[in-house]
Amino acid sequence: MTSMKPKKNALGRGLSAILESPETDITSKDISGEFVVGAVASIEIEKIEANPFQPRNEFEELALQELCDSIKQQGIIQPVTVRKLGYDKYQLISGERRLRASKMAGLIEIPAYIRIADDQQMLEMALIENIHREDLNAIEIGISYQRLMEECSLSVNDMAERIGQNRSTITNYIRLLKLPPEIQVAIRDRQITMGHARALITVESMEQQLMLLRDVIEKDLSVRDIESRVKEINQPALRAFKQPVDKLLLPEKFVEARNRLSEKTGTKIEIKRNQRGKGAITISFRSDDEFNRILSLFQ
């Protein structure tokens, strides 16, 4: 009879291993003598300090309000996790959204797991717990991976084992942090997907990356569309072969006009014209202020 292998924990050897270890989960009374460390206790919110290692900087107000409304009706389903700092004093390890929403809901106390953890363990717990959230954007995940590597001295292999992810997946998230800030913001704000970003990162020129980013946003290009564009950029011979006839035959006077307009407006101008003389002029701008500046030039 073949013995069945135990099911692998979704968290790997990360958060669960730390929380269940003898060093971080004990059964003796804490300093105040009121709560058992490792158990669930009701703690006054004002006695819980924020986690200085919290990887997330932004929380969507609408989502917080929805969680606040849920807490008012149903209470807190999942306790937060805190560590003991001293007499009647605690610091949040994980559960930042629940703590914030509870404050918004006007709660005085909140259920919490009490743990013992040093700063290194606390950072690792917060980062790993954060990575497994479903509402994180790709940049937040990449930053968490990067911090685990740099501040917890973990290799990609170590992280893959601790959080149950493939090495390639972790590497792809970390690579996003090498993209220009404009693209990282677009990923954070979910203007483009992880698939778009993975295609853009293979383009060497930052100017071309930003040009493609604008095209993705303005023209609502799919991942397959942008992959095709990137392939043409990275293979010049193929790009020349596929270049539209109207671009190849753009008369010189149109090229000169495009250059003059670009100098006058201080921004990118694109002129398209087909063989029958029909076309369009596109003026690019990056902000409302730049739009107003350009508009004033034509008034």
Residue 3, pLDDT > 60, answer: no
Q: Which of 150, 146, 151 is nearest to 122 (CA)?
A: 151
Tell me the two tokens of residue 185.
Answer: 């913001």
Residue 107 clears pLDDT 60, i.e. is over it: yes
Min mean pLDDT across 23-32, 214-223, 285-294 is at 23-32
What pLDDT does 60 receive?
74
Secondary structure of residue 248 in the 3-state scheme: helix
Residue 256 pLDDT greater than 50, yes or no: yes
Give me the mean pLDDT over the 247-252 stretch: 64
Mean pLDDT (whole number) for 10-24: 40
| pLDDT tens for each residue of 35-58 | 555 567 888 999 998 877 665 656
First-last CA distance in the chain: 86
User: Would you kindly state where each structural domain of the chain is located, as residue ranges?
Assistant: 15-117, 195-243, 244-297
Averaged pLDDT score across all residues of the chain: 76
Burial of 83 (0-12, 13-18, 19+ CB in 10 A): buried
pLDDT at 41: 83
Look at residue 78 in the predicted model and tell me its pLDDT.
Answer: 76
Say what the pLDDT of residue 38 is.
54
What pLDDT is stored for residue 160 in this prediction? 85
Q: Which of 57-66, 93-102, 117-126, 253-262 has the lowest mean pLDDT?
A: 117-126
Residue predicted with more confidence, 221 or 123:
221
b/e code 243-259 from CB counts within 10 Å (16+ = b) = eeeeeeebeeeeeeebe
pLDDT of residue 110: 92
Query: Quick one: fold of 15-117?
Result: 3.90.1530
- 98 pLDDT more than 60: yes
Among 33-47, 135-149, 233-247, where is mean pLDDT lowest?
233-247
Q: What is the pLDDT of residue 117?
A: 62
pLDDT of residue 105: 92
Q: Tell me, what's the pLDDT at 261?
A: 82
Closest CA relative to residue 200, chosen from 247, 162, 233: 233
The residue with greater pLDDT, 166 or 265, is 166
Return the higher-pLDDT residue of 2 and 68: 68
Written as six digits, the tokens of 283 are 């003026």
Catalytic residue from among 96, 124, 129, 140: 96
Look at residue 211 and tell me whether its pLDDT is greater than 70. yes
Active site residue 96: yes
Phi, psi angle pair for 112, to nearest 5° = -150, 145
Can you tell me the mean pLDDT for 199-203?
91
